[in-house]
């Protein structure tokens, strides 16, 4: 049984009110989700809040997960990233990088190598990301993994705002085309 099938099974059991299944789901996914949250909110306390809210939402809405429409981790990551954006919106944009984490955040902007070891969809997405040019790809991945806005990506890469917008928009269109079955 693959990891993805295992996680989907935990979610199905959690949807029926099985607290043990939710705990197994937590043990299996929390570090990765926490890592994703830290990258976006850049503070340990906010990342923990996002993780808590995510598991509360997962508990309430587990029945909505449809294994035919993506992986359990992907579905949970959608909820988590939304929680992170809500937290950032509620606190303005003051999200200083927690120095404790500065060292531990890997730079994923070259194209996340770990995708190559993921499932079929991950490998396909990596192949499509590899076809993008370096800066447009970096812009897109900064937006995903660090939750940066167009302005912030532009500041980070030292590129004009309009350029960054068109890099990201064109990259999204190219990804869509590349991922078409």
Partner 1 sequence: MTERDPESLDRLAAEYVLGTLRGPARRRFERLIAGDADVARRVEDWAQRLDPLAEAAPAIEPPAQTWPAIMRRIGPAPDRARRGLIEFLFGLPTEAVPSLATAGLWYCVSFWRQVGIASAAIAALLFVYLFIAPPSSPTHMALLADAANKPVLVVSLDLHHDRLTLDAARLPTAEAGKSLELWILPPAGSPRSLGVLPGGQLSLPLDMKAAEDLARGALAVSLEPAGGSPTGLPTGPVLYSGPVLPAS
Q: Which of residues 12-31 bind partner 1 (CB under 8 A)?
A: 15, 17, 19, 22-23, 26, 30-31
Q: Which of residues 65-124 bind partner 1 (CB under 8 A)?
A: 69-71, 73-78, 81, 85, 89-90, 101, 104-106, 108, 112-115, 118-119, 121-122, 124
SS3 of the chain: the string is CCHHHHHHHHHHHHHCCCHHHHHHHHHHHHHHHHHHHHHHHCCHHHHHHHHHHHHHHHHHHHHHCCHHHCCHHHHHHHHHHHHHHHHHHHCCCCCCCCHHHHCCCCCCCCCCHHHHHCCHHHHHHHHHHHCCCHHHHHHHHHHHHHCCCHHHHHHHHCCCHHHHHHHHHHHHHHHHHHHCC
CB 1 within 8 A of CB 28: no
47 binds partner 1, rule: CB under 8 A: yes
136 binds partner 1, rule: CB under 8 A: no
The binder of partner 1 chosen from 7, 39, 109, 174 (CB under 8 A): 39
The binder of partner 1 chosen from 8, 11, 21, 36 (CB under 8 A): 36
CB 75 within 8 A of CB 65: yes
Q: Minimum Å distance from CB 83 to partner 1?
A: 10
Q: Minimum Å distance from CB 158 to partner 1?
A: 18
Tokens 């929680």 belong to which residue? 83
Q: Which of residues 48-67 bind partner 1 (CB under 8 A)?
A: 48, 51-52, 55-57, 59-61, 63-64
Q: Minimum Å distance from CB 23 to partner 1?
A: 7
Closer residue to partner 1, CB minimum distance, 9 or 82: 82
46 binds partner 1, rule: CB under 8 A: no
């Amino acid at each position: 049984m693959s990891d993805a099938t295992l996680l989907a099974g935990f979610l199905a059991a959690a949807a029926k009110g099985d607290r043990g299944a939710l705990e197994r789901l937590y043990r299996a996914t929390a570090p990765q989700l926490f890592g994703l949250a830290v990258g976006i909110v850049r503070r340990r306390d906010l990342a923990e809040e996002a993780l808590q809210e995510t598991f509360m939402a997962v508990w309430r809405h587990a029945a909505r997960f449809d294994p035919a429409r993506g992986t359990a981790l992907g579905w949970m990551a959608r909820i988590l990233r939304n929680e992170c954006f809500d937290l950032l919106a509620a606190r303005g944009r003051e999200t200083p990088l927690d120095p404790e984490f500065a060292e531990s955040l890997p730079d994923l902007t070259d194209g996340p190598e770990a995708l190559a070891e993921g499932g079929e969809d991950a490998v396909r997405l990596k192949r499509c990301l590899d076809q993008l040019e370096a800066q447009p790809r970096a812009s897109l991945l900064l937006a995903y993994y660090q939750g940066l806005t167009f302005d912030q990506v532009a500041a980070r890469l030292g590129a004009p705002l309009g350029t960054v917008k068109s890099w990201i928009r064109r990259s999204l269109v190219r990804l869509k085309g590349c991922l078409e079955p």
